[in-house]
Amino acid sequence: MRRLAVLSLHTSPLAQPGTGDGGGMNVYVRELASALARTGAQCDVFTRASSPDLAAVVVVEPGLVVHHVKAGPVAPMAKERLPAVVDEFTEGVLAAMTRPGGLPLGDEEGGRFEAIHANYWLSGLSGHTIKHELDLPLVATFHTLDRVKAEAGPEEVASDIPHRRAEAEASIIRCSDAVLASCTVEAEQIAELYGADPTRIEVVAPGVDHAFFGPGHRPQARRALGLPADGTLLLFVGRIQPLKGAELAVRTLAELCSDGGNFRLVVVGGPSGPQGPESYERMIATAKELGVADRLVMVAPQPHELLSTYYRAADVCLVPSRSESFGLVALEAAACGTPVVASAVGGLTTLVDPGRTGFLVDEPTPSAFAGRVREIVADPIAVEQFSTASVLRARDYTWRGAAARLHEIFDELTAGRLVECR
């Protein structure tokens, strides 16, 4: 596979994770495309132009180029409005992938595209059309699935995309030559909830950049961030929205402080989605109501590589999500030697080794999370054991390994017959 079209309509890999719709998917697209480029593949990432300040084409590094495609206003758009611009986005991508008349690009233009990798269902709609226009294999990664989110938080789904999302996901899955799942749990969900052919589901786990995310000296990390040296520091990293559970993290803090414990919680992230602002205000109000507002440290979303210092500063990372297809925050925390207490949902169940690298919580209550935090921090020797085991566990996940597996998948697909829609 020499050249790949990566579709990421609703969020750019250049965007700041933790703001707007930027999150783990931004990191995934950029890091995986970068790793593929380092194998010798040309990766062209197509995303919607959302700011006049961005160049139409940005060369990120040799082999990795981001194209900002005009579709709708060149300004931020609410995600629920984006289905209306899919067709315009598709036309723009097709124009960039071909010469006039739809002919393949020549060598002087970088050569013809050989495959499509669509990220999220909106990009999948575009990829579906492009597959048939150019007769190219389509690989889809959904990152989140409507039917999984509906089980975890039906109120958020109802306010998110009042559209045909679940039906569109099913259609994309039927047409995709391969569907990527981040873990075995997600693979089972795709097969069970969407009736997908299990032989076309490939598990390709995301990675972590170990050059940035590695263990360090906790006191020094706290000094670097201007955080108090004393007490136990909890960390929450993510967008502020109901599914991510930031308010539960605050309630866990209150539970831990109720018996006089010296705990603090750092929240790194900003509001996201239609319910983001409301969730943010409710979280702050909860902290005040429970008397822990002075123990809560709010930090604006940070450049991805700078998050490692926050992970190293923390004693425990909380991941109280209602739903997670993978759980990149949990993996990054583990790589930095920080134990994780997480909800027992989705990909988190494959990342956290209970009793060794942290704990999984079946009952998402403040008391349950607080109890597991106390188990970790009660014994300094146990803390070191958790930290060491976490680092060793995270070493199994690399972007290089993910790229190598994806390269194999694309090579197999380009040599075979395309799946027909049914």
pTM of this structure: 0.92
pLDDT at 155 (0 to 100): 54
199 and 125 within one domain: yes
pLDDT at 124 (0 to 100): 97
pLDDT at 154 (0 to 100): 57
pLDDT digits (tens, 9 = 90+) for 188-216: 999 999 999 999 999 999 999 999 999 99
pLDDT digits (tens, 9 = 90+) for 279-313: 999 999 999 999 999 999 999 999 888 999 999 99
Q: For the chain, which residues score pLDDT lower than 50?
A: 162
Q: Which two tokens stand for residue 236?
A: 């929450």
228 and 149 within one domain: no
Domain assignment of residue 419, yes or no: no
Domain assignment of residue 213, yes or no: no
278 and 200 within one domain: no
345 and 251 within one domain: yes
pLDDT at 198 (0 to 100): 96
pLDDT digits (tens, 9 = 90+) for 359-375: 999 999 999 999 999 99
Total domains in the fold of the chain: 2
CATH of the domain at 186: 3.40.50.2000
pLDDT at 275 (0 to 100): 84
Contact of 144 with 272, CB cutoff 8 Å: no
pLDDT at 162 (0 to 100): 47
165 and 101 within one domain: yes
Q: Quote the CA–CA distance of 47 and 13 in Å, as a whole number.
A: 8
pLDDT at 19 (0 to 100): 58
144 and 55 within one domain: yes
Domain assignment of residue 265, yes or no: yes
Q: Quote the CA–CA distance of 382 and 385 in Å, as a whole number.
A: 5
403 and 390 within one domain: no
Domain assignment of residue 104, yes or no: yes
pLDDT digits (tens, 9 = 90+) for 31-75: 999 999 999 999 999 999 999 999 999 999 999 999 999 999 999
Q: What is the 3-state secondary structure (H, E, C) of the chain?
A: CCEEEEECCCCCCCCCCCCCCCCHHHHHHHHHHHHHHCCCCEEEEEEECCCCCCCCEEEEECCEEEEEECCCCCCCCCHHHHHHHHHHHHHHHHHHHECCCCCECCHHHCCCCCEEEEEHHHHHHHHHHHHHHHCCCEEEECCCCHHHHHHHCHHHHHHHCCCCHHHHHHHHHHHCCEEEECCHHHHHHHHHHHCCCHHHEEECCCCCCCCCCCCCCHHHHHHHHCCCCCCEEEEEECCECHHHCHHHHHHHHHHHHCCCCCEEEEEECCECCCCHHHHHHHHHHHHHHCCCHHHEEEECCCCHHHHHHHHHHCCEEEECCCCCCCCHHHHHHHHCCCCEEEECCCCHHHHCCECCCEEEECCCCHHHHHHHHHHHHCCHHHHHHHHHHHHHHHCCCCHHHHHHHHHHHHHHHHCCCCCCCC
273 and 297 within one domain: yes
Domain hosting 324: range is 218-394
pLDDT at 7 (0 to 100): 98
